[in-house]
Structure 1
Amino acid sequence: MVSTIEKVFTRTRLPDGRPGYQIRVCAEQPEVDAGSFALRAPWGLEGLQGADTIIVPGTDVPTAPLPAAVRAALLSAAAQGTRIASICSGTFPLAATGLLNGLRATTHWMEAGLLAATHPPDIEVDPDVLYVDNGRILTSAGAAAGLDLCLHMIRKDYGSAVAADAARLSVMPLEREGGQAQFIVHDHAPAPRGSVLEPVLSWLQENLARDLTLADIAARAGTSTRTLIRRFREQTGTTPLQWLHRARIRQAQHLLETTRHSVERIGAQVGFGSPTAFRDRFKRTTGVSPHAYRRAFS
């Protein structure tokens, strides 16, 4: 990912042909363990001095302690007005400096809960967006969203025309519709085996197309609506109708990916009374329209 990010900036050219950026790859040690390979850094942390922008890459172990020297270098750079951006799980070491305190931030959706749990209530974690721009401090979601963030910074630095050229060279759209919510797999927390909810959830999954009310679900469970809501909260972390809406949208995503059925037909197949209601709920859940989702994933 470091190489990919580097290429986005090294390929950026100004209208007169001059390079838009000079790149330094810096690290505390000359060789960095990057998991499946080793990365050699030509510059030590002294290379961060005088930088206009510092990009903190992702890490395999988000909660690993931040080396004191790295923390000091990032804090010193921030104090001098350097723009600092993180890619994917790079939000964690950036958060460990305290520079995200009081700010909105994002990271890969799979680790957003961990970020919120590790730094409550200092950071407002938004798991649905591709990136967050707080001015001098920026964060991005997954690795691909890091490219979105880089193009965003290039556009801020040099304008849309230069950024559009950089996007074309990276075979990327300058702007992607929606946020990372469209990529999240909304799996439900399983009910304990043998619990009252286990057969009810199976029944709901098999009857998504029906016009079900809370009373219908409670009747199926053989309990009152109040007791049903309490048990759903305890065992799934959500309400019966919210669980049902999420299951319908997940099934709709599957149908958009795997069939040629019209959006209207899919909406009816998963239990929405009108195409408008389906489109509205789908966009609120995923951040994009059903048509945009199908273009991206079919």
Structure 2
Amino acid sequence: MRTVAVLAYDGISPFHLSVPCLVLGDRHSPPSQYDVLVCAEEPGSLRTNAGFGVTVDRGLDVMDEADVVVLPSWHPGREPSSVLIDAIRRAHARGATVVGLCIGAFLVAASGIADGREVVTHWRWADELQARHPELTVRADVLWSDLGDLITSAGTAASLDCCLHLVRTHHGVEVAERLARDIVVAPHRSGSQAQYIPVPVPPDPSDDVIEKAMVWARARLDQPVTLDEWATAVALSRRTFTRQFRARTGISGQAWLLRQRLDRARLLLETTDHPVERVAGESGFGSSAALRHHFHALLGTTPQRHRQEFGAL
């Protein structure tokens, strides 16, 4: 059971405040693995930007004991107090993971804990954050970034992706997918903000050939899939398919497919006792050596270690 401190402040968006509470907070199915505590610099009644108030009982001292500190958005024009900045720095210095959701990246940047590193924020605010903090690398091309001790995400709904990523990291793919089903969201969106920075939107969802291509590929993760076969399956040329896939998701088809295969392999390792060679075959890697290579390159671990940490059998 990890303790999570979620910051509330006067004028906060109730949606942003509710995301970490929804994903990480108390629930019955599946049961929460976190003790979520909402805190504020000045406990008591706080206004929201939705016309109603919330009451917060706990102060910033909660951050002094938390395993995870979540900063769910912020007001870019508001200068954070030295008390709040010190609380964030203390938590980070003693080993807490700091999570900045959406424009909570502004608060992360102000604390200095990301100096010389990268942060993610909503694409609409990325240029302003970069101008204010040239010591950072500000990214607007991904949904979230995980540096281990610091996690930041893009705007609004991407906060859900980021919090699910946290659950996946702490408790494995199976738990994260059960939770995603419970709150009726996609368990893993392997895309980027590029799909939201004005690009043409299909007039009818049924005409989304890239979504159809994703469904086709997911049904064949245990089989070799060439780019030509993939494009032909949705009646596109290879060149058109490649261009449309990147425009739709922000990444290449090959990169997306690799992530899907890794998720399949992780789930099999967690829920079955299949030998690693069989897991590699059923997830499309062909050999245990290839599976180990990609596990190490993208996840920084091995299949065996992942099974030991997250396996239910």
Q: Secondary structure at the match of 2:69?
A: strand
Matched ranges for 1:246-261 at <5 A:
250=199, 253-254=200-201, 256-258=202-204
How many angstroms does 1:282 deviate by?
A: 3.2
Asked if 2 retains the 8 angstrom alpha-carbon contact of 1:131 and 1:149, the reply is yes
Q: Aligned partner of 1:134: which letter? A: L
Quote the residue 2:23 is aligned against: 8
Asked if 2 retains the 8 angstrom alpha-carbon contact of 1:10 and 1:19, the reply is yes
Larger Rg: 1
Matched ranges for 1:131-170 at <5 A:
131-170=144-183
How many angstroms does 1:26 deviate by?
A: 0.5
Q: Aligned partner of 2:72: which letter? A: P
Q: Secondary structure at the match of 2:91?
A: helix
Q: Tell me the TM-score normalised to structure 1 length.
A: 0.64
Per-residue CA deviation, residues 180-238 of structure 1 (Å, 9 max, x unaligned), is 110111xxxxxxxxxxxxxxxxxxxxxxxxxxxxxxxxxxxxxxxxxxxxxxxxxxxxx
How many angstroms does 1:170 deviate by?
A: 1.4
Instruction: Return the match for 1:55 from 67, 70, 73.
Output: 70
* Unaligned 5+ runs, structure 1: 186-249, 265-273, 293-298
Per-residue CA deviation, residues 107-133 of structure 1 (Å, 9 max, x unaligned), is 11111111111111x111110100000
Instruction: Return the match for 1:106 from 120, 123, 138.
Output: 120
Q: Identity percentage over the alignment? A: 33
Asked if 1 retains the 8 angstrom alpha-carbon contact of 2:142 and 2:192, the reply is yes
Structure 1 residues 4 and 156: CA distance shift in structure 2, 3 A:
same
Instruction: Return the match for 2:54 from 33, 39, 44.
Output: 39
How many angstroms does 1:5 deviate by?
A: 2.1
CA distance in 2, matches of 1:29, 1:99: 23
Per-residue CA deviation, residues 85-139 of structure 1 (Å, 9 max, x unaligned), is 011011101110011111111111111111111111x111110100000101010
Q: Aligned partner of 1:103: which letter? A: R
Asked if 1 retains the 8 angstrom alpha-carbon contact of 2:26 and 2:35, the reply is no
Instruction: Return the match for 1:118 from 132, 149, 168.
Output: 132
Q: Aligned partner of 2:237: which letter? A: P
CA distance in 1, matches of 2:164, 2:242: 29
Asked if 2 retains the 8 angstrom alpha-carbon contact of 1:13 and 1:20, the reply is no
Quote the residue 2:39 is aligned against: 26
Structure 1 residues 259 and 141: CA distance shift in structure 2, 3 A:
closer
Structure 1 residues 12 and 125: CA distance shift in structure 2, 3 A:
farther
Q: Aligned partner of 1:257: which letter? A: P
Structure 1 residues 283 and 260: CA distance shift in structure 2, 3 A:
closer
RMSD of Structure 2 on Structure 1 (CA): 2.6
Structure 1 residues 261 and 89: CA distance shift in structure 2, 3 A:
closer
Structure 1 residues 262 and 164: CA distance shift in structure 2, 3 A:
closer
Matched ranges for 1:1-298 at <5 A:
1=15, 2-11=17-26, 19-30=32-43, 31-36=45-50, 37-59=52-74, 61-120=75-134, 122-185=135-198, 250=199, 253-254=200-201, 256-258=202-204, 275-286=237-248, 287=250
How many angstroms does 1:63 deviate by?
A: 3.0
Q: Secondary structure at the match of 2:112?
A: coil
Structure holding more strand per residue: 2
Structure 1 residues 284 and 50: CA distance shift in structure 2, 3 A:
same
How many angstroms does 1:259 deviate by?
A: 8.4
